Chains A and B, each alone.
Chain A
Amino acid sequence: MTTVPSAHDVLVVDSLVRRFGDLTAVDGVSFRIAPGETYGLLGPNGAGKTTTISMIAGLIAADSGTVKVAGQRMTPATTEPRRHLGLVPQELAIYPELSARENLTLFGRLQGLSGKALSARVEEVLELIGLADRAKSLSKEYSGGMKRRLNIGIGLLHQPTLLILDEPTVGVDPQSRNQILESVEALSADGMAVLYTTHYMEEAERLCDRIGIIDTGRLQAEGTRDELIRLTGGVDTIRLSGSGDLAAAAERLRALEGVERVEADRRTATLTVRDAPVLVASVVGTVAGSGVTLADVEISRPDLESVFLHLTGKALRD
């Protein structure tokens, strides 16, 4: 896969390769992220997402390929590009014996903030992550969701150009998960570039401007949600069930414009169509006109799960 870097890209990943013994964990991964863009790296566990992120964050060296953050080459030995980067690891990378304020202050100092600027930014982030009223409590006393929010807060404390979130909602209750997703949306709206890894396709669909689908260390496809879905052929499915002879109605259904295929027996019919939401009224009317009483109508549209299945031959959560 080739990418055409822009001079303004926040992140440019070019042909990254990383091997662990005989295993090639990352195999020629390339992509880029523009300012203000949220890029999702979608793949199952073990696909190579965290290894890719580790190279982007300069934690491990690449066997080959390059990473540039804000135009500067990132390696384990370089310091300067790290100023532009905020990493939110998959684990809860906070100190449980420190309060939220102490955690933020410590990591702020390590990012080079100090004095009033640091204090002000710490208070801002405490408000942003909803922990201002618990700022003095030791973080080991927080709920899982609060710890996750603090974990994210530390990553964006120094207002990085690129925020990397490595599966930030793993093990989080639905309410906290929604708060986290809203926070990411807000950051993106403020112009921060975000690299978001997940194996939840609904998160990728909701948050990401562009998505890279990664499996067995390779970027299988990349694009917007619609671009990726087009890879599957872009067809929807309408499933019908009811009493009466659906097989007899099949011929009239095939005649409808936009219907590509119909498979039916007496009680059920499955239609492959171009645009199910638009076509469903005609389908229901046609079936009713054939003397069939419908019991159930189900519309399926292709999603990223379908894309992953289409590209790799296996389900995303396998």
Chain B
Amino acid sequence: MRQLLALAASDLRMRIRDRSVLIFALVVPLALMFVFNLVFGNTDDIEIEPVTVAVSAPAGDDLAAVVGEVLRSLDGMDGLDVTVRETTADDGRRQVEDGDAALAVLVPEGFGEAARTGDAVTVEAVRGDEAGLEADVVLSAVDGVLDQLGTGAVTARAGLAEGIPPDQLAALAEQATAGGPAYELRQGEASDEQLDAGASLVAGQAGLFLLFTVSFGVTSLLVDRETGTLARLRSMPIPAWTIVGSKALVSFVLGVVSTSVLLLAGSFFFDADFGSPPAVALLVVCVVAAATSVMFLIARVARTSEQAGIATSIVAVVLGIGGGAFFPVSATGRFAPLLDLNPVAALLRGLGTTSGGGGVADLGVPIAIMLGFAATTWVLSRLVPDRGALA
């Protein structure tokens, strides 16, 4: 064990002096995080501008008035700042053309009567060229109101077809309009296993570059072989596993440190909240174990450090993209569950759980996936004929 630690300590010292590991493990992923955050990261922080809506509704039409009331009720809801100006249809159009209003909602004469009797009627919405997302939100609300009123119209038409007297149709239509849907849709947590966009980018990049970071151990084993140092090490009175073990230990330490630093940096720079530190630490240890196990396999099949570098890149990109390092990935079909067995995906899933308040006890599935992946890959590395560093 003393010899294993001596080898690992020297290897770590060389990796740090070499600086390439610092670049691959920290600088590049951090830089990518900043770039991706610039490109995608502000989708959570959209600024809602105040919006002015010109509404033209015929006087005395109580259903037409509902449209204006609904728009007024949007003011202050979810950060919306809505100003409703009652006006005529022509003036409403002019205000939009002049840019005084973002949107004009023009309710025609006879709207209420048509809604009650089920006749067709058109509400005109004029959207300004420079209207932003706010106008679309308001427009959606108007659409919703009209849908509900349309329900009343359909009810009235159905009643007429069934021979209900016209004097009862209006009451029936109002009842249908006023009544809520038969089901209730309540807004809840998106999912307790999903990170927000910023945190997902941080975790994804940490997972992707972890695979490059741990590859330094196996690459150094192959470089040792190419330089003759491995022959010298193997001529010494130490068990053969000590050499491989020291490289694996170096990979593991580098992986744990780099992933932890990246997650911490992500929390600091991008306000990513990954939740319980012990739970996150457990996830980091498990995903690094899984990534290191891949390197055992690569060490078994790669003959040169160049081959190992190429194999590592392929594995990193496949597992990284498949795991959602750049964007969420979902698949259908018979092999879709394989995506879930990806350690990077498991890391993101686990961090989603911890960020939603989950603790160590809630991480059974992602940890099982990561450790299962590590065990499977390690067994595979034992079964594959050795044509690599120790052949």
CA distance A79 to B234 in the complex (A): 10
> Are A82 and B13 neighbours in the complex by a CB distance under 8 Å?
no
- Of the listed residues A97, A110, A111, the one surrounded by the most CB atoms of chain B closer than 10 A to its CB is A110
Please tell me if B73 contacts chain A, counting CB pairs below 8 Å.
Answer: no
Q: A97-B13, A97-B18, A106-B6 are in contact. Are A57 and B235 (CB under 8 A)?
A: yes
CB pair A82 B229 closer than 8 Å: no
State how many residues of chain B have any CB contact under 8 Å with chain A.
Answer: 22
CB distance from B219 to the nearest CB of A (A): 14
User: Which residues of chain B come closer than 8 Å to A183, judged between CB atoms?
Assistant: none
Q: A89-B228, A93-B228, A109-B2 are in contact. Are A59 and B235 (CB under 8 A)?
A: yes
Q: Does A316 contact B (CB under 8 A)?
A: no
Interface string of A75-97 (1 = CB under 8 A from B): 01001101101010111111101
The reply to whether A87 and B231 form a contact with Cβ atoms under 8 Å apart is yes
Contact partner of A93 (CB less than 8 A), chosen from B6, B18, B227, B238, is: B227
Residue picked from B10, B14, B228, B237, most chain A C-beta under 10 Å: B237
Give chain B residues whose Cβ lies under 8 Å from the Cβ of A106. Answer: 6-7, 10
B 239-281 binary contact with A (CB < 8 Å = 1; else 0) = 1100000000000000000000000000000000000000000
Q: Please measure, in the bound complex, the distance between the C-alpha atom of A193 and the C-alpha atom of B240, giving whole angstroms.
A: 26
Q: Report how far A41 CA is from B2 CA in the complex, Å.
A: 36
Does A58 touch B at the CB level, under 8 Å? yes
Instruction: Return the chain B residue nearest A94 by Cβ.
Output: B229
The CA of A114 and the CA of B2, in the complex, are separated in Å by: 10
State how many residues of chain A have any CB contact under 8 Å with chain B.
Answer: 31
Check: B361 CB closer than 8 A to any chain A CB: no
A91 vs B229: C-alpha distance when bound (angstroms): 8
Q: What residues of B have a CB within 8 angstroms of the CB of A112 in the complex?
A: 237
B18's nearest neighbour on chain A, judged by CB, is A97
Judge if A154 is at the interface, Cβ distance under 8 Å: yes
Name the residue among B7, B18, B235 with the largest chain A CB count within 10 angstroms: B235
B contact residues around A79 at 8 Å (CB): 237-239
Given A79-B239, A109-B6, A90 contacting B234 (CB threshold 8 A): no
Q: How far is the CB of B237 from chain A (nearest CB, A)?
A: 4
Determine whether the beta carbon of A87 is less than 8 Å from that of B232.
yes
CB B7 to nearest CB in A, in angstroms, measures 7
Q: Does B31 contact A (CB under 8 A)?
A: no
A57 touches B231 (CB 8 A): yes
Q: Which of A165-182 contact B (CB under 8 A)?
A: none
- Which of these, B10, B228, B240, contacts A92 with CB under 8 Å? B228
CB–CB B13/A89 < 8 A: no
Q: Across the interface, do A80 and B237 meet the contact criterion of CB distance under 8 Å?
A: yes
CB-CB under 8 A for A82 and B236, given A93-B227, A109-B3:
yes
Inter-chain contact A59/B233, CB cutoff 8 Å: no
Question: Taking CB as reference atom, which chain A residue is nearest B230?
Answer: A93
Interface residues of B in 1-53 (CB under 8 A from A): 2-3, 6-7, 10, 13-14, 17-18
B233 near A110 (CB under 8 angstroms)? Answer: yes
**Contact yes or no, A59 B237, CB < 8 A:** no
How far, in whole Å, are A102 and B240 apart by their CA atoms in the complex?
Answer: 22
Please tell me if the beta carbons of B238 and A95 are within 8 angstroms of each other in the complex: no
Q: How far is the CB of B238 from chain A (nearest CB, A)?
A: 6
Which of B13, B18, B239 has most A Cβ within 10 Å?
B13
Contact check, A154 vs B232: say whether CB atoms are below 8 A apart.
yes
Most buried by A among B7, B13, B227, B232: B232
Question: Which residues from A are CB-within-8-Å of B233?
Answer: 110
| Chain A positions within 8 Å of B6 at CB level | 106, 109-110
Contact: B231 with A97, CB < 8 Å? no
| Interchain CB contact under 8 A, A82 and B237 | yes
Shortest CB distance B239–A (Å): 7
Please give the distance in Å from A56's CB to the nearest CB on chain B: 9
Instruction: Decide if B7 touches A97 in the complex (CB within 8 Å).
Output: no
Closest B residue to A85 by CB, please name it: B235
A58-B235, A111-B237 known; A95-B228 Cβ under 8 A: no
Q: Assuming A102-B10, A106-B6, is B228 touching A91 (CB within 8 A)?
A: yes
Contact of A95 with B236 in the complex, beta carbons under 8 Å:
no
On chain B, the residues within 8 Å of A94 by CB distance are 229
In the bound complex, how far is the Cα of B227 from the Cα of A71, in angstroms? 30
Asked whether B232 lies within 8 Å of A95 as measured between CB atoms, the reply is no
B6 and chain A: residue at smallest CB distance: A109
Contacts of B17 in A (CB 8 A): 97, 138
Residues of B within 8 A of A138 (CB): 17
Pick from A80, A97, A109, A155: contact of B14, CB under 8 Å: A97
- Whether, in the assembled complex, A107 has its beta carbon less than 8 Å from a beta carbon of chain B, the answer is yes
Bound: A97/B236 CA distance, A: 21
CA distance A107 to B233 in the complex (A): 8
Q: Chain B contacts of A111 at CB under 8 A? A: 236-237
- Beyond A58-B235, A79-B237, A110-B236, whether A93 also contacts B229 by CB under 8 A is yes
Q: Is the CB of A110 within 8 A of B14?
A: no
Q: Does A268 contact B (CB under 8 A)?
A: no
- B231 lies within 8 A of A93 (CB): yes
Rounded to whole angstroms, the CA-CA distance of A89 and B233 in the bound complex is 11
Residues of B within 8 A of A76 (CB): 234, 240
Q: Which residues of A contact B236 (CB under 8 A)?
A: 82, 107, 110-111
* Cα of A125 to Cα of B301 in the assembled complex, Å: 38
With both chains docked as a complex, state the minimum distance between the C-beta of A226 and any C-beta of chain B, in angstroms: 33
Q: A80-B237, A83-B237, A110-B238 are in contact. Are A89 and B231 (CB under 8 A)?
A: yes
> Do the beta carbons of A54 and B10 come within 8 Å of each other?
no
**A93: chain B residues within 8 A (beta carbon):** 227-229, 231-232
Q: How far is the CA of A59 from the CA of B389 in the complex (A)?
A: 12
Give me the 4 closest cross-chain CB pairs, A-B, nearest first: A91-B228, A97-B14, A89-B228, A93-B228
29 contacts between A and B (CB under 8 A): A57-B235, A58-B235, A59-B234, A59-B235, A76-B234, A79-B238, A80-B237, A82-B236, A82-B237, A83-B237, A89-B232, A91-B229, A93-B227, A93-B229, A93-B231, A94-B229, A97-B17, A97-B18, A98-B13, A102-B10, A106-B6, A106-B7, A106-B10, A110-B3, A110-B6, A110-B7, A110-B233, A110-B238, A112-B237
A57-B235, A110-B6 are known contacts; what are 5 more A-B pairs with Cβ within 8 Å?
Answer: A57-B234, A59-B234, A76-B240, A93-B227, A107-B236
